[in-house]
Structure 1
């Protein structure tokens, strides 16, 4: 999963204290190998006190869950303190059974950072060494090989985090400088010996939501970008269809003041400023003669566009507002103690609970993927209007280059018909994948984990829906640029014309039938590197 270059690499080191990590910080580290990250001194001091309390409680002989007891349903089986370290080593091993594709380097970096920050909060009873070793992996870009599947967000992301933490004890495989190598070899080469585990160490590393949160953080940033892409695409479609830009008037949307809707309408209005294709409402009305004494007439241009254009701010606005609250939930999660048990140094007590439950992440991602998939459907409906000569207000069928009826090429070309078929298929997959995951709780762990969040599946699905919707957007933009070429680009607004000019540097006008898969890839590249966002940027709007 890739993201655009935002210049974050020029910032100073991120200092982890368990409280101030942002989604932007996560994305910065995810995209930048060897990003500078440090543990705050105050956080290290809290960790030392928490670990000391753990040791004091162990000296009393009382059972402490996962420290001197078994895990999950085995919580009623106490072991001696002398066995505690071996119990942690065994945990690191029996959880390494993930399946499916390997998590990308971006996800691995994000997970390492988030897990380190959660432990830096200082409630987990582990030494600063544990966090420092996670940060060592980041600093040297030693990335654990982590299969994506195997977690239901029960006691956190146990299985993937088991793979993520294995290199700390010199086990598992890592990606280092382009090669997959045993962790033990890479650590030795870097002069980093394996960590000798103490009581609670493995549990603190694997018993949390950090894998789910990594997907969620990257998904929410890309979803924010998608809102802008969709607004840019809508503005181009409105011009291509000779639409009514009065639908985006401030009065309308301030009368229903959802912030995302208002922002979306404002941005589309600014994108269309100066357009002679998409006219103001009064201009549209003025294209037809007054009815006068006649009882009926057919207007030269409809005073209202179809819903997929007219209601675009209402659809995209839902995505904008979902991004806002999902971002807040994610940042709360990545700055939380989400393992079990936790140590309260103020009262000298240990607390067993369920902070590993990823319910907030699951719901945020389920909502995000629905909002994103709705945008895919919106753009797919706009594309259907563009290519259909029954609805595109005088454009050619399939947006083919016009030829005379007696021209030999007449009837030979189908233009964007195949692109519309592909877009419909990708949209259908996005819609299917948007089914909420959080309602599919499973009972696992001998019915100890009998209500689980499904957060990693929800978050991975959200990333998939975002990727699919990017593909929909790329196809739409290619078709919209073809359509405005047919209308006359000199009639476009200055901002949409900049977008059209960028697209034309990547993909030529389609004069005859040709493969366009390369064009789609080129547009996706412009989304990743930020050039498309810059071309359509409107000063003062969110996400730009």
Structure 2
């Protein structure tokens, strides 16, 4: 999505009410060639609330953050002559972020969500401010936003101050693949830095757009992971000569959690036609005991829990995502600002809509569900690589070698991959602890209860990335196992997933570095190409 293509872009209207997680992903990751614009109704609301703000200022009323100081300085009123400088100062003293710079997709999403908040028309800002933010999106001017510094109430003050600074011509941005001074970039594009007026610095910084950007992207990627986890379970069931009757509709309809039912149904669909993972009547075929009082079955009639109970784990992620997505979409279509100007009621309201309580609770829950799915896949990987449990496959999935082969005893296959997988799962589990209970009283005890929403959302992002890598290792190992088992026995749909992965990652014929293989499959997962291949089979 480059500026030279602007003439061909479809208009995407922001109205503060109808933005979806999918919209955020498409714009933040530049997957669709669209130009964001304000709806006509949004423009009218913005202008009406700004007019009310100017009217109230002229009456010399104390308005929080407009004609008073910030936070515990709210009892200190200033004259209207000082209001613009007050807004410049909030961007200055909040410029204390630390840590690594947020990814460009997060910065784009943050700007998008801030625009959508202001589009509700309750924040008292000028349309020029919002239109400059839209210009940043149009030209892909990406503010450099340090990840750390937000307590999640009053919103994401520190991270969002870097957006405000860029809008006013201060700081550095990523533009055209280079880090540059924002003032130079704006001049090059014929754009003027914003001169803030009353309330505008606060309106930019005092909201949940930064945490919600991470949250929206994490939700989307988690939805893809739920699908991929079920694909991985189906492939593991085949590689281990499992029992696909574990996913029979009768079982799951009698414990009808929607996510569980959906996961079981998908796995059952994926395994349809498989000659490796069999129905129970195929497993039980034979002459019975006869005159014997005991016999050893050739195949176990029950798989281990990590296979048999997979819908009870991935299904929890699916059900968690149902309400988490709803909460996040409510958040990104809200006035998460303070104070709010009611143009209809002709008054101003001070409240706490900047509090990220719903975001932190959603992300804490999502983290736990994601970590459990990562752990599930790691347990399945153990079954695949361990010769004690993999039903006749090779140790660590090395190629089949005869004892007199010169390579015999030299190769260790997926031993390192399992170690890496276990490490990442341990990290995911460590990060899954709740952040919402770690409120700290801060800012002279004015912010005496805070959400820590951005920390939870960043942790969710990290667990998503770990789980994507875990899933990639699992899928590569499953393909190796199925090559050893005989891929001709796979179902049509699992064969489609296998084929897509084999386009990027070859059979492991001997020990080699595999970090690039992992990266390739993570990209397949993240892009949805595995889903596309499976669903089209």
**TM-score, scaled to structure 2:** 0.96
Match for residue 491 of structure 1 among 478, 489, 492: 489
Partner of 2:149: 150
8 A Cα contact 2:10 2:34, kept in partner? no
Alignment of 1:37-186 (within 5 A): 37-186=36-185
Question: Is 1:423 the counterpart of 2:402 in the alignment?
Answer: no
d(CA) in 1 for partners of 2:536, 2:444:
55
Give the C-alpha shift of residue 298 in structure 1. Answer: 1.4
d(CA) in 2 for partners of 1:397, 1:524:
25
d(CA) in 2 for partners of 1:19, 1:405:
68
d(CA) in 2 for partners of 1:257, 1:530:
27
d(CA) in 2 for partners of 1:504, 1:195:
51
d(CA) in 2 for partners of 1:538, 1:424:
33
Aligned residue for 1:62, secondary structure, equals: coil
d(CA) in 2 for partners of 1:182, 1:411:
58
d(CA) in 1 for partners of 2:347, 2:486:
73
Give the C-alpha shift of residue 10 in structure 1. Answer: 9.3
Give the C-alpha shift of residue 11 in structure 1. Answer: 8.0
Give the C-alpha shift of residue 535 in structure 1. Answer: 2.0
| Post-superposition CA distance 1:183-222 (Å, at most 9, x none) | 2221122222122211111111100000001001111000
| Post-superposition CA distance 1:50-108 (Å, at most 9, x none) | 11111221122221111111000101111111111111111111111111111111111
Alignment of 1:175-214 (within 5 A): 175-214=174-213
Aligned residue for 1:428, secondary structure, equals: helix
Give the C-alpha shift of residue 361 in structure 1. Answer: 0.6
Aligned residue for 2:284, secondary structure, equals: helix
Question: Is 1:393 the counterpart of 2:391 in the alignment?
Answer: yes
d(CA) in 1 for partners of 2:55, 2:501:
65
d(CA) in 1 for partners of 2:450, 2:261:
37
d(CA) in 2 for partners of 1:200, 1:528:
39
For structure 1, the 5+ residue unaligned runs are 1-8, 540-544
Partner of 2:515: 517
Alignment of 1:430-441 (within 5 A): 430-441=428-439
Alignment of 1:215-294 (within 5 A): 215-286=214-285, 288-294=286-292
d(CA) in 1 for partners of 2:200, 2:500:
52
d(CA) in 1 for partners of 2:223, 2:181:
38
8 A Cα contact 1:35 1:138, kept in partner? no
Partner of 1:6: none
8 A Cα contact 2:221 2:526, kept in partner? no
Partner of 1:402: 400
d(CA) in 1 for partners of 2:493, 2:517:
22
Match for residue 332 of structure 1 among 310, 330, 333: 330
Q: 1:418 to 1:10 in 2, by over 3 A?
A: farther
Partner of 2:3: none
Match for residue 410 of structure 2 among 409, 412, 418: 412
Aligned residue for 1:148, secondary structure, equals: strand
d(CA) in 2 for partners of 1:309, 1:272:
13
d(CA) in 1 for partners of 2:535, 2:191:
46
8 A Cα contact 1:123 1:344, kept in partner? yes
d(CA) in 2 for partners of 1:125, 1:27:
28
d(CA) in 1 for partners of 2:9, 2:86:
41
d(CA) in 2 for partners of 1:198, 1:405:
80
Partner of 1:5: none
Aligned residue for 2:437, secondary structure, equals: coil
Give the C-alpha shift of residue 409 in structure 1. Answer: 2.9
Structure 1 moving runs of 4+ over 6 Å: none
Cα RMSD (Å) of the superposition? 1.6
Aligned residue for 2:277, secondary structure, equals: coil
Aligned residue for 1:180, secondary structure, equals: strand
Give the C-alpha shift of residue 408 in structure 1. Answer: 3.4
Give the C-alpha shift of residue 419 in structure 1. Answer: 1.2
d(CA) in 2 for partners of 1:56, 1:413:
78
8 A Cα contact 1:270 1:538, kept in partner? no
Match for residue 372 of structure 2 among 371, 374, 377: 374
Partner of 1:463: 461
